[in-house]
Amino acid sequence: MSERLKEPVLKTGVGVNPTVGSNPTLSAEFIVEEIEMNKAVNVLTSVILGGLLISVFILIQKSSESNENAVSAVKIGVSANTKTLREVRLMTLELRNLQKDVSEIRTILPKTKRVHTTIK
């Protein structure tokens, strides 16, 4: 069985892995391109997330303004309803008073007819 040589056969190699001259290997170029692509993707992702955060803050502000407007509208509606209810209550009391007056008139009217007919 043959043994592996511990030293490289060619003089250009250092250790077990051969060294490269001034031109990097193809895999090193791909690694550099991949790192640059990852940086670009990270920057783009950061910009998109920043835009999303700004959009969320704008939506929150608009919805709080909308909620304030809704509360104001409800307050106005409640105020109008309160006034309307007050008016309805007063009208109901007036109707009851009128009913009492009409019933009193009905009881008095026959008596006045009798008196009126006796005077003639």
| Span 13-36, pLDDT tens digits | 555 555 555 665 666 667 778 888
Rounded Cα gap, residues 108 and 101, in angstroms = 10
Rounded Cα gap, residues 33 and 47, in angstroms = 21
3-state secondary structure string across 34-57: HHHHHHHHHHHHHHHHHHHHHHHH
Is the pLDDT higher at 38 or at 28? 38
**Mean pLDDT, to the nearest integer, of 47-61?**
91
Which residues does 2 contact at the CB level (< 8 Å), separation at least 6?
A: none
Is residue 33 included in any domain, yes or no? no
Structure tokens at 100: 């009492």
Is residue 17 included in any domain, yes or no? no
Is residue 18 included in any domain, yes or no? no
| Span 55-81, pLDDT tens digits | 999 888 888 888 888 888 888 877 777
Which residues does 24 contact at the CB level (< 8 Å), separation at least 6?
A: 32
pLDDT given at position 45: 93
The partner residues of 18 in beta bridges, in order of sequence, read: 13
Cα 42–47–48 angle (5° rounding)?
95
- Which residues span the domain enclosing 62? 39-120
Is residue 1 included in any domain, yes or no? no
Confidence of residue 105 (pLDDT cuts 50, 70, 90): confident
Share of the chain above pLDDT 70, in %: 68
What is the number of domains present in the chain? 1
What's the mean pLDDT when you consider all of the chain?
78
Global pTM reads 0.37
Is residue 56 included in any domain, yes or no? yes
